[in-house]
């Protein structure tokens, strides 16, 4: 394949992409909007703001990242000593 043929092939694939991307984006946006609407009444995590079907006793979502673990540990310690922030 010559350099010219390669650049023609690249041009052709770029030409086809905008429509595909626009369609993909429209579908994704619609799906996200629908999910957002359905979850609008769900509670949000006190730490990260993530919507969850159910929060744990400490008001957090089910994530187990370090900040979530730290929050749980600190909140449990505060509850144990009877003081709240
Ligand atoms: Zn969270």
pLDDT of residue 16: 66
Q: Round to whole Å and give the CA distance between 71 and 46.
A: 10
DSSP secondary structure code for residue 65 in this structure: S
Residue-wise pLDDT for 34-71, tens only, equals: 888 887 888 999 999 998 888 999 999 999 999 999 99
Going from the Cα of 82 to the center of ligand 1, the distance in angstroms, rounded, reads 24
Going from the Cα of 14 to the center of ligand 1, the distance in angstroms, rounded, reads 40
Joined together, the tokens standing for residue 4 give 């010219």
3-state secondary structure of 44: strand
pLDDT of residue 37: 82
The residue-averaged pLDDT of 18-39 equals 87
Radius of gyration of the chain, Cα coordinates, nearest whole angstrom: 24
Q: Round to whole Å and give the CA distance between 38 and 24.
A: 21
pLDDT of residue 35: 82
Q: What protein residues have CB closer than 5 angstroms to ion ligand 1?
A: 45, 47-48, 50, 61, 63
Q: Which helix (H) or strand (E) holds 77?
A: helix 66-81
């Amino acid at each position: 394949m010559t350099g010219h043929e390669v650049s023609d092939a690249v041009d052709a694939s770029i030409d086809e992409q905008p429509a595909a991307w626009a369609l993909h984006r429209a579908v994704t946006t619609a799906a996200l909007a629908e999910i957002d609407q359905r979850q609008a009444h769900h509670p949000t995590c006190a730490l990260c703001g993530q919507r969850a079907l159910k929060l744990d006793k400490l008001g957090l979502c089910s994530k187990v990242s370090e900040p979530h673990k730290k929050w749980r540990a600190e909140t449990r310690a505060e509850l144990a000593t009877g003081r709240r922030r």
